[in-house]
Structure 1
């Protein structure tokens, strides 16, 4: 652990609740609206917490819009720079969010700038976040797994971390039902099934897809992709 005190699980979950509206978007129009709102909030009330929110929403913009529109280029760098201000310099309970999104922002910068060396640095930052906070919060493993599963094939040693990370989150959530929220688990179950499409894992994959669907009645997380993958697996 760094020089901050060990984080309190309940306080981490309280921050998760306060940050939930700037994490994990699938609706890009909602994301654009939220970007305007978060920037306005920070301009009106420039607290440390509101700046962390800003760094996270910049990441979501880079991830969901930066590769499709010149208007949103450079947001990965903005996210990384914003969150870098808070590494080890704010409450321990905020560090899982700061470190995880900062590492992911660096991986987005690597893709946008075509600087593959940044991928290795990104995973070094993920490893640090997991060592420090992986036992108390899902985000370090969830973010690393999400990046790992989308890497090019020649990063096979890092791609295999996705299976490890998503399985780890499932295991920890079995031990503690409050470890990860419904939205995250919907994505995690879908991701696990996506990585285990072989006949050997078919029954378990479909079971997890059913869980992902049940957790997301309003199509706000992994339901749509889970339904599509389930139909594909049932036809094999």
Structure 2
């Protein structure tokens, strides 16, 4: 029995080490190439535009169900659930599960491009958290954070998305989820550090949201100067109000009263 347990532990550690090594071998330029193909379906805050994109992505997938179109489908389902399902009692219910199921299928396929996995794994975890919110099943939230943690461990070195989505979910949790809410401060700080080291790490849209989220988490006097500086960056990066500018401007007014 003892030998069996040791063998099981060794096998588990070998699998984990193999996955981590695979993540470390991801080609950053290929990850960014996938990001370019997915950018228009990520962080869509205009609900009218979102509905239009949803129809287009569904049509494209039915015409050509390849891996990138499947990823786009799963992600736009996520954005639909996030921005529309909680505003409607019927029409958009169930989109969180559609997102999770679609992305899970892609994640579990043995031939999915490894540079696509940071996006699939991250949105898959976020989709599961939305399923938990929609169904009031707290167990799913715990499972979602386990998926987030795996995504961060495996892909955060080459993609902002695991920490960005984990932090975004964490910052919106009620106060009594303090063990998970702590990720909000950590994750946005981590993204900023990586961005400072590599300007190509995250795009303008993500950084606009990130600088605002960092300041939102640190509104006390101790961080006031840095928060205001980051809010100015969030605003400057988003001249057309496509990302964090509106919220950054509102928070800046609050902090300067």
| Fold equivalence (TM over 0.5) | yes
Task: Tell me, in whole angstroms, the C-alpha distance in 2 between the residues paired with 1:94 and 1:116.
Answer: 29
The residue that corresponds to 2:34 in the other structure is: 15
Partner of 1:84: 104
Corresponding residue to 2:157 among 128, 135, 141: 135
TM-score normalised by structure 1 residue count:
0.97
Structure 1 residue 79 displacement after superposition: 0.3
Does residue 75 of the first structure (1) align with residue 82 of the second (2)? no
Output the TM-score relative to the length of structure 2. 0.90
Higher gyration radius (CA): 2
- The Cα offsets for residues 174-217 of structure 1, whole Å up to 9 and x where unpaired, read as 00000000000000000000010001110000000000000001
- The answer for unaligned runs of 5 or more in structure 1 is none
Report the Cα distance in structure 2 between the residues aligned to 1:86 and 1:49, rounded to whole angstroms: 10
Contact 2:70-2:106 within 8 A present in 1 as well: no
Aligned counterpart in structure 2 of residue 50 of structure 1, from 54, 69, 74: 69
2:50 aligned residue: 31
Q: Tell me if the contact between 1:4 and 1:88 (Cα under 8 Å) persists in the aligned partners.
A: no
Separation in 2 of the partners of 1:172 and 1:26?
25
1:106 aligns with 2:131: no
In structure 2, distance between residues paired with 1:7 and 1:113 = 35
- In structure 1, the residue matched to 2:223 is 201
Aligned to 1:233: 255
